[in-house]
C-alpha cells in the first residue's frame, strides 16, 4: 500500500486547519437549519505520536475521525494525512489509514477469519498473503484459534473488538484512528486492547488518534490530550500541562474547568441533532 501512497519523511501525520462540518437539521418549529458538529478545528499530529481527544457524546469526536478517514466531506477548512489532502487525494489517504470504532462492524454470519480475508483484499492482499498472516495476527491479539471459524454473532464484544484490532493491524496503517475502541468492554478486555495499542505503536511506528471517554486511558496512552466540546477544540497539550493550566489534580477536573460540564454529562441536544441529521 505504501508503494502507491509514499509517506514523505518530513510530512505531518495529520494537519487540520479550521476544519468545519455542519449537518442540516429539519425542525417543524424552526425549519431547516445548519448545526455545527465541528467548528474550525485546527490540530497537528507528528509522525509516531499518540494524541487522545476527550469529549462527551456529540462533541464532534466521531465527526473528526470520519473526516480524516474520508467518510465525510468538510464544509470548510482543510485536512491532510501525511501531506495528502482528505478531499483531493482521498484514495491515497485511504491507503494509509485504518480505524477501530466503538462498534466492531462485521458481517455477523461470517467468521472472524472470513471477515479478515475479504477485508484484506480491499487493500490488495492476495490469498497466499492472508492465509499466512491472519492466523498470526489473530494469535497476537489473543484471539483463541478454536473460535476462528465461528460466526461473529456468537462472539462476545471483547472478542469482536480483538478481531477489529486485527483487521486494522492487517493493513499496516501508518495512521490509526481509534474511536472509543474500549467503550463497553469489560475491564480485562479493556486492558488487553490498551496493551495491544501500545504494542502497535512500539512495533509498527503507527501514529494514533484516540477518541475516548476514558480519562485514564487517554492519560496512559497519549502524549497529548485534547478537549473537544460542542465541536470546538478547547485545548491540546500534554496531560500534565493541561492539569497545570486549569490548576486541576485530575484530567476530569481539568475537563470540567475547560468546558464547565461534568465529563459524564452528555451533550444531549447536539447528539440528538446529529442523529437526526444523519438519519
Partner 1 sequence: MRAVALSLRHELIGLAGVVERNVYLTRRYIYWDVAFFVWTVANTLTIVFIAEGIEATGGQIDVERATTTLLIGAVVWAYLGIIFEFLTETVAWERWEGTIEYTFMAPLSRAMHLGGSGVFAVLYGLVRAILLFIVVAAFFGLAFDDANFIAALVVLVVASISFFGIGMMTAVLPLISPEKGAQLGFVAQGMLLVVSGVYYPVDVLPQWMQWLATISPATYALEGIRAAILEGDPLSSMWPQIWPLLVIGAASIPLGLAIFNRGEVYAKRHGKLKRSG
Q: Is 22 helix (H, G, I), strand (E, B) or coil?
A: strand
What is the grid cell recorded at 23? 449537518
Q: Which stretch binds partner 1 (CB under 8 A): 39-47, 53-61, 119-127, 200-208?
A: 119-127
Q: Are 1 and 171 in contact (CB under 8 A)?
A: yes
The residue (of 51 and 116) whose beta carbon lies closer to partner 1 is: 116
The residue (of 202 and 279) whose beta carbon lies closer to partner 1 is: 279
Residue 151 touches partner 1, criterion: CB under 8 A: yes
Q: Is 102 helix (H, G, I), strand (E, B) or coil?
A: coil
Which of 44, 105, 172, 183 touches partner 1 (CB under 8 A)? 105
Residue 23 touches partner 1, criterion: CB under 8 A: yes
Rounded to the nearest whole angstrom, what is the least distance from the CB of residue 120 to partner 1 in the complex? 8
Closest to 231 in 3D by CA, of 16, 56, 7: 56
Q: Are 52 and 217 in contact (CB under 8 A)?
A: yes
Which of 2, 18, 24, 34 touches partner 1 (CB under 8 A)? 24
CA distance 88 to 68: 12
Q: Where in 182-211 is the site for partner 1 (CB under 8 A)?
A: none
Rounded to the nearest whole angstrom, what is the least distance from the CB of residue 34 to partner 1 in the complex? 11
CA distance 208 to 210: 6
Q: Where in 48-77 is the site for partner 1 (CB under 8 A)?
A: 66, 69-73
* Pairing status of strand 175-179 against strand 232-237: unpaired
CA distance 264 to 255: 11
The residue (of 101 and 259) whose beta carbon lies closer to partner 1 is: 101
What is the grid cell recorded at 177? 484512528
User: Which helix (H) or strand (E) is 84 found in, with range?
Assistant: strand 84-85
Total binding residues for partner 1 by CB under 8 A?
Answer: 42
Which of 106, 143, 196, 255 touches partner 1 (CB under 8 A)? 106
What residue ranges bind partner 1 (CB under 8 A)?
1, 3-4, 23-24, 66, 69-73, 91, 94-95, 97-99, 101, 103, 105-110, 114, 117-126, 151, 167, 274, 277-279
Amino acid at each position: 500500500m505504501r508503494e502507491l501512497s509514499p509517506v514523505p519523511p518530513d510530512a505531518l501525520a495529520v494537519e487540520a486547519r479550521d476544519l468545519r462540518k455542519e449537518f442540516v437539521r429539519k425542525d417543524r418549529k424552526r425549519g431547516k437549519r445548519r448545526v455545527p458538529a465541528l467548528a474550525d478545528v485546527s490540530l497537528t499530529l507528528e509522525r509516531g505520536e499518540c494524541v487522545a481527544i476527550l469529549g462527551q457524546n456529540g462533541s464532534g469526536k466521531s465527526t473528526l475521525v470520519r473526516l480524516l478517514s474520508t467518510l465525510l466531506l468538510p464544509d470548510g477548512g482543510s485536512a491532510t494525512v501525511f501531506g495528502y489532502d482528505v478531499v483531493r487525494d482521498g484514495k491515497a489517504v485511504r491507503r494509509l489509514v485504518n480505524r477501530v470504532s466503538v462498534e466492531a462492524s462485521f458481517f455477523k454470519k461470517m467468521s472472524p477469519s472470513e471477515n479478515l480475508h475479504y477485508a484484506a483484499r480491499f487493500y490488495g492482499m492476495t490469498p497466499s498473503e492472508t492465509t499466512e498472516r491472519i492466523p498470526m495476527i489473530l494469535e497476537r491479539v489473543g484471539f483463541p484459534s478454536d473460535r476462528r471459524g465461528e460466526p461473529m454473532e456468537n462472539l462476545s464484544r471483547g472478542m469482536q473488538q480483538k478481531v477489529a484490532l486485527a483487521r486494522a493491524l492487517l493493513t499496516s496503517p501508518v495512521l490509526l484512528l481509534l474511536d472509543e475502541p474500549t467503550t463497553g468492554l469489560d475491564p480485562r478486555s479493556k486492558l488487553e486492547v490498551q496493551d495491544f495499542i501500545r504494542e502497535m505503536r512500539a512495533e509498527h511506528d503507527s501514529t494514533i488518534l484516540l477518541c475516548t471517554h476514558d480519562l485514564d486511558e487517554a492519560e496512559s496512552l497519549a502524549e497529548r490530550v485534547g478537549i473537544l466540546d460542542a465541536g470546538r477544540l478547547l485545548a491540546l497539550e500534554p496531560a500534565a500541562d493541561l492539569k497545570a493550566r486549569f490548576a486541576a489534580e485530575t484530567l476530569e477536573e481539568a475537563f470540567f474547568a475547560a468546558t464547565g460540564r461534568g465529563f459524564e454529562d452528555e451533550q444531549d441536544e447536539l447528539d440528538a441533532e446529529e442523529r437526526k441529521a444523519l438519519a
